[in-house]
Chain A
């Protein structure tokens, strides 16, 4: 009925067959040096979900860090949806931010070295999502933002494709970090193999534009055996430095300024997303206490020379990894997407200024206050 196929077609077929075998993805879980690699393939789907955009017990608003109240490792289920919010970044300066979870930077996720995270993210950039009402079933982040909406958030729409790149994860980016369109949801697993403070950000091009528009945050991965100090710290704070590139738009809102972004000339350089937040709401401590700062410079493009006026960092762990310990540092240089964990003894009652010692950045907003009360002990 059907003539034999030609040799050539057979050969071509063999080649295709061979190639497709070679391209089979590696998804088998394995361990190496006690770390876990090889996560299953990410799922992309659509779902009817209109619940809280941020879900997870250990997810908080900056500068807070959720205490890890469990022994050993835990499997976290975390949701951080992509939503668009009109936010204030400085007095009188508002723009439509592309966000993870509704704030810039996005929520802080706290996990322990070795924890597994099942992460879900819906691209809700095409729907109005209010984050300032207390939400049931959300994370501590949701309640903290409802109580303290310092960016004066209001819901907005700007549909765009987006993605999530957790620097704390070790996976194939073309799978887990893949871009999803408005209305789509992605779900994937990753394991926090390395301790430290890691940025997360949108990896959809222009990555410069997406991160400058607000899509970044941090994951703090605490070392499974803690930092080898022999003491407990009294307080922990998370501080994220980042830049905005904004220019007055046609209406009341500011818009993205491509020229400024491409020439490394930010309009604002800020801590925790707002030019004056760490002065309006100073970090608190008391004289004689040990304070731990998890500081990340989320960029997108600048560096930070992080210093506290009146203080010296007693111990510093570069990138937050317990093996990278330094002592007695006045200033810690953080490249774009670099971080450090810094312990400081608060010397006496009074004010201490957190500052990017690159003064051009400081004058654009990268300063904050640590207000110390009298010694309690």
Chain B
């Protein structure tokens, strides 16, 4: 039993990087982090027991902020609250914002993650940046690129993660980059801030998956607390539809290319 759990740790190098230094203030353009190719254990493996391979890709260091989203809305009026057609969202889109282009920063903060955006809006934002939403596997793989100093630390972290999923305080979100949780490549806050949209948030297996009392157990392929926490995340995400907007779901983008030196060279080719 013990040796098995040890193997799990090796296969899943997790480490909470408790960075002591304060997060830098988000610059006007979010940094992109190269996530190198590798593989990870999905709680929804295509082939049970096999690690899922993931090619290298770039991903935003932090989630998209209110301020960044305002910038996008300035250039893309069709995604403003008063303009967005109901085919792309439910009623709650940017509900807490004071007006179309004013989140009311004293309450929501420039550097807090934008939430209450539908999958369509998140997708459109990333498309506009020359990227896309990360795939579910890319996001999860990046999230698992963490190292822990001990099994106990990993377990504690994962338990807290489960508790966190039961009580995200959507009215008082922290700033992006402030959770002090980051992966080995420097991608920040995949845990501890908000849940995030991914391109295929409802993977095809969602249709076959029977959601019941045993689902978490069946998905707990690693037999670890981490995989328990992951299954709660997967299930929550796959229970959404593309028009849903909630106070606990934000997003970040993924890219095939590093950030352009000048953002104006960033043409949208097919």
Instruction: Give the B-binding residues of A (Cβ under 8 A).
Output: 46, 48, 95-96, 98, 126, 157-161, 163, 173-174, 178-184, 203-209, 213, 247, 249, 253, 255-259, 262
Contact = CB atoms under 8 A, between A and B. Distances in A.
A180 B211 CA distance: 12
Interface in B151-176: 159, 162-163, 165-168, 170-171
B130 interface: no
Contact of A258 (B171, B225, B247): B225
B170 A205 contact: no
Given A159-B248, A209-B232, A179 B211 contact: yes
29 contacts: A158-B168, A159-B170, A159-B247, A159-B248, A159-B249, A160-B236, A161-B240, A163-B211, A178-B211, A180-B239, A181-B246, A182-B92, A183-B244, A184-B244, A203-B211, A203-B212, A204-B211, A204-B235, A205-B212, A205-B215, A205-B232, A205-B235, A206-B231, A207-B216, A255-B163, A255-B167, A256-B166, A258-B163, A262-B228
Contacts of A46: 90-91
A204 B239 contact: yes
B232 A206 contact: yes
A257 B163 contact: yes
B87 interface: no
Contacts of B240: 161, 181
Interface in B232-256: 232, 235-236, 239-241, 244-249
Interface string B86-123: 00001110000000000000000000000000000000
B27 interface: no
Q: Across chains A and B, which 8 residue pairs bring their CB atoms closest together, nearest first?
A: A161-B239, A159-B246, A256-B166, A205-B215, A258-B162, A207-B213, A206-B216, A179-B239
Interface residues of B, number: 33
Contact of B245 (A173, A180, A183): A183
A158 B211 contact: no
A305 B236 CA distance: 35
B138 to A, nearest CB: 23
A256 B170 contact: no
A268 to B, nearest CB: 16
B261 interface: no
B19 interface: no
B3 interface: no
Given A158-B248, A159-B248, A96 B167 contact: yes
B29 interface: no
A255 B162 CA distance: 10
Nearest to B161: A258
A161 B211 CA distance: 11
B210 interface: yes
A259 B162 CA distance: 9
Contacts of A160: 236
B215 A126 contact: no
B167 A205 contact: no
Nearest to B237: A161
A249 B171 CA distance: 16
B166 A213 contact: yes
Contacts of A174: 210
A247 B160 CA distance: 11
Given A95-B167, A181-B239, 18 more contacts: A48-B91, A96-B167, A98-B166, A126-B92, A159-B246, A163-B211, A181-B240, A183-B90, A203-B211, A205-B213, A206-B162, A207-B212, A207-B216, A208-B213, A249-B167, A258-B162, A258-B228, A259-B159
A157 B171 contact: yes
